[in-house]
Amino acid sequence: MDIEEIRNDFPQLSQGFIYFDSGSTSLKPRSVINKMKEYYDTSSVSIGRGLHSPSTIVTNAYEKAHEKVRAFFSANGDIIFTKNCTEAINIVAHGLTWNKGDKIVTTYLEHNSNLLPWLNLISSGVKVELIKCRADGTINLNELKGAIDENTRLVAIAHTSNVLGSIVPVEDITKMAKEKNALVLIDGAQAAPHLKVDLKAIGCDFYAASGHKMLGPSGTGVLFIRDCTVEKLKPMIIGGGSATDLTLDKITYTTGYSIFEAGTPNIAGGIGLGAAVDYLTDIGMDQIRKHELELIGYLIDKLRTFDKVKIYGPDDMNIRSGVVSFTIKGVPAHRIAIILDDLGKIAIRSGFHCAFLLNRYILKEPDGTARVSLYLYNTLQEVDILIDILKDIVKNA
Ligand SMILES: Cc1ncc(COP(=O)(O)O)c(C=O)c1O
């Protein structure tokens, strides 16, 4: 993996800032930008409607993008394009038919996007059981197993924590859920950009991810549905493109992904997302993981030399992804972020990271944490610049 060559693919990096906030959204390579531009420059027509040749070309390109994403995830089901990961999770929350007494098992580790859609169902008589995670982001699997009973309709769990970077053993958890015939939804927003995700091997029913965090355009997300039928999952919105026939007595719904993508979709975004997974596949997810492990290991070793710094997340690098959260005694997290931006043009994220329960009840950090999230275009030299500024912050704390 030639890091300089990779960096040259990302036009924004030429502005001279250090981007350590890929957990929020990733930068976009030129190939993705060009694909979108090509659509707008040459063929910005609709899909699946017209019989004219531009429409056929674009329809094929949009369908091909689904196929690329399907292959990227080794998916044994349909891939739906959404506007983000949050929408993908909401499609499942709104689409399943819930009965009073149904149970959803989830955890304190979750991002609000994998909590609020479930907590919102409590008013319909659904029980939500929240399993505590440990402070390093690991989960007691026996406790989780004990919570999954015959009333459990769904287990909803993050593949990787957006605060602690811990990688959750989703394959084992899916097996546990399947023993009780429960459905499994995995929030892969922070895993899909960094790890090789094999949905066939995991065996889950739903997998949600953010296209925009995995080099895709903003306004893109992904939902994998293993059994994509309207009987099992009602589309949240229906309209143009949802039906193959309509009489006054009967609606005949389309099959496959289009039933969940009613109306004119984000065509340029979808095609751009296809280019993003091409880019990731060309580099190789194993290579990306290797590079990130080197960066994280280096960063953590340096952070450990500061006595006022507390590092969050698991010690075991095998279950750590590209996120490193930390606090500095006496310096609020937002202050760290502002100083890094002012002095080093370094972009990090600070605060609660939309994981309120984790922060409030597990980490108990009143100001949240400072979060450095790394990706394939980051370098050891950038980490050194960050550490130099942190040294001063720690000294003056
Ligand atoms: C773990 C996790 N889940 C869900 C989301 C929501 O993703 P999106 O902004 O694509 O809706 C995020 C975003 O940061 C996340 O980190």
Instruction: Clarify whether residues 211 and 292 are in a common domain.
Output: no
Q: Are residues 189 and 153 in the same domain?
A: yes
Same domain for 372 and 336: yes
For residues 243 and 321, membership in a common domain is answered with no
Question: pLDDT tens-digit profile of 204-262?
Answer: 999 999 999 999 999 999 999 998 677 789 999 999 989 999 999 999 999 888 899 99
d(CA 222, CA 364): 32
Q: Is the dihedral of CA 164, 301, 28, 1 positive or negative?
A: negative
Phi-psi region of 52 (alpha: psi -120 to 50; beta: other; left: phi over 0): beta
Rounded to a whole number of angstroms, the CA Rg of the chain reads 22
Residue 164 forms part of a structural domain: yes
Ligand 1 atom showing the smallest separation from residue 87 Cα: 11
Tell me which DSSP letter residue 10 carries.
-
Residue with tokens 């005694």: 329
Model's pTM, two decimal places? 0.97
**Is 245 in the same domain as 302?**
no
Tell me the average pLDDT of the chain.
96
The answer, yes or no, to whether any atom of ligand 1 lies below 6 A from the CB of 190, is yes
- 252 shares its domain with 295: no
Instruction: From 82, 92, 111, 160, give the residue whose CB has the most ligand 1 atoms within 8 Å, as the site to mutate.
Output: 111
Q: For ligand 1, is residue 78 a contact (CB within 6 Å)?
A: no
- Nearest to 13, CA basis, from 318, 335, 336, 381: 381
- Same domain flag for 272 and 296: no
CA 222 – CA 73 distance, rounded (Å): 10
Establish whether 228 is a catalytic residue.
no
**Are residues 119 and 154 both part of a single domain?**
yes
Q: Whose CA is nearest to atom 7 of ligand 1?
A: 85
Residue with tokens 């194993």: 286
Domain that includes residue 362, residue range: 3-21+284-396
- Closest atom of ligand 1 to 86 CA is 11
CA of 215 to the centre of ligand 1 (A): 14
Structure tokens at 23: 């957990």
Looking at the structure, tell me whether residues 246 and 330 fall in a common domain: no
Quickly state the pLDDT bin for 48 (edges 50, 70, 90): confident
The total domain count for the chain is 2
Q: What is the pLDDT of residues 305-319, one digit of tens each?
A: 998 999 999 999 999
Instruction: Give the integer Cα–Cα distance in Å for 78 and 207.
Output: 11
Q: Print the SS3 string covering 136-147.
A: CCCECHHHHHHH
Same domain, 142 and 257: yes
Structure tokens of 267? 């065509």
Contact partners, residue 35, CB within 8 Å, separation at least 6 = 271, 272, 274, 275
Q: What percent of the chain stands above pLDDT 70?
A: 100
DSSP conformation class of 167: B
Q: Ligand 1 centre from 247 Cα, in Å?
A: 40
Q: How far is the CA of 112 from the centre of ligand 1 (A)?
A: 8
Residue 86 CB less than 6 A away from ligand 1: yes
* Beta strands at 346-347 and 18-19: parallel, antiparallel or unpaired: parallel
Q: Is 266 in the pocket of ligand 1 (CB under 6 A)?
A: no
Ligand 1, closest atom to CA 212?
Answer: 10
Give the tens place of pLDDT for each residue, 267-305: 999 999 999 999 999 999 999 999 999 999 999 999 999
Does 16 share its domain with 116?
A: no
Pocket test for ligand 1, best of 89, 109, 113 (most atoms within 8 A of CB): 113
Which of 354, 356, 375 is the best mutation target for the ligand 1 pocket, counting ligand atoms within 8 Å of the beta carbon and taking the most? 354
- Report yes or no on 234 lying in a domain: yes
Close Cβ partners of 266 (under 8 Å, ≥ 6 residues apart)? 81, 83, 217, 219, 220
* pLDDT at residue 17, as a whole number: 94
The tokens describing 208, both together, are 């949600």
Which residue lies with its CA nearest to atom 12 of ligand 1? Answer: 189
- Residue 26 maps to a domain: no
Tens-digit pLDDT profile for residues 172-219: 999 999 999 999 999 999 999 999 999 999 999 999 999 999 999 999
Nearest-atom index, ligand 1, CA of 211: 10
Are the beta carbons of 266 and 62 closer than 8 angstroms?
Answer: no
What is the helix (H) or strand (E) element at residue 372, kind and residue range?
strand 369-373
